[in-house]
Amino acid sequence: MPAEPPRDLFPYFQTLADLPDLVDWPTFFGNDQPVELDIGCGRGMFLVNSSVAHPDINYVGVELDYSEGRRGARRLQKRALPNARVIGGDAREFLRKYVPAHSVAAIHVYFPDPWWKRKHKRRRLFNDEFVELLARVLQPGGEVHSWSDVEEYFQVISALMDHHAAFEPLPPPPWHEPQHDLDYLTSFHRRRSQAGAPTFRGRWRRCPSAENDRVNTIKETFEY
């Protein structure tokens, strides 16, 4: 675990140690707006653009790399955005221990690290456990959005999501041609798009039907 960072960016940057056992979103943000998560938020381009465009939605970015997360939080602080925060820490731990079941309206996972080497692929974010965690915290009807520039990894993501009983695939969002350097989803998306890399886009909905709601029985804190 990284060393405890300075507090100069609080509350825009917080760590898992700052959080209660289960986060009460109305208390955390001071309002009852819907909450969306940005897993692996990096430098915060998606957080900034989305929180400005949708002031009626609260956004929480999660970033393992404290230095990157603090860069994103500094952008939020500079704009004094009340509806966006960055949490420094492991996304799985955050979802497993701190996010109440069925409390999140949408989850965004853009360009997760593909961990190219065969021996490192076990470190990939998307696996059965992670998809189960997404199902646990999403509200019925909530959506998962995930993009990748790596076709092989996107196929893995799609297979995991498509075959989980709690999710149904949806058509990807309409393609948007960027008009300027800040009109991309993330900084990484900008860099790869300008280099000519393809973008594979996926969207899935949390099924509201009772027969697919088996994760209701999973404890608030997983044991692995």
Domain membership flag for residue 63: yes
How wide is the angle at C-alpha 150 spanned by C-alphas 149 and 151, nearest 5°? 110
Distance CA 100, CA 142 (A): 14
pLDDT of residue 2: 53
Q: What is the pLDDT along the chain (224 residues), one digit of tens a residue?
A: 555 556 799 999 999 999 999 999 999 999 999 999 999 999 999 999 999 999 999 999 999 999 999 999 999 999 999 999 999 999 999 999 999 999 999 999 999 998 777 776 888 999 999 999 999 999 999 999 999 999 999 999 999 999 999 999 999 988 888 888 988 988 989 999 899 999 999 999 999 864 445 544 444 444 43
User: At 26, which CATH number?
Assistant: 3.40.50.150
pLDDT of residue 5: 55
Q: Is the pTM of this model over 0.85?
A: yes
Domain membership flag for residue 195: yes
Range of the domain at 166: 13-217
Domain membership flag for residue 23: yes
The residues that are catalytic are 113
Q: Is 78 annotated as a binding residue?
A: no
Q: Is 18 annotated as a binding residue?
A: no
Q: Could you tell me the CA-to-CA distances from 163 to 99, 160, 216 in Å, in that order?
A: 24, 6, 18
Q: Is 90 annotated as a binding residue?
A: yes
Domain membership flag for residue 222: no
The number of folded domains in the chain is 1
Q: Write the DSSP assignment of 133-178 as a string of letters.
A: HHHHHEEEEEEEEEEES-HHHHHHHHHHHHTSTTEEEEPPPPP---
Domain membership flag for residue 65: yes
Domain membership flag for residue 61: yes
pLDDT of residue 3: 54
What are residue 89's phi and psi, to 5 degrees?
A: 155, 180
Could you say which DSSP state residue 215 is in?
Answer: G
Q: Is 181 annotated as a binding residue?
A: no
Domain membership flag for residue 7: no
Sign of CA dihedral 139, 101, 224, 213: negative
Distance CA 97, CA 183 (A): 34
SS3 94: helix
Domain membership flag for residue 1: no
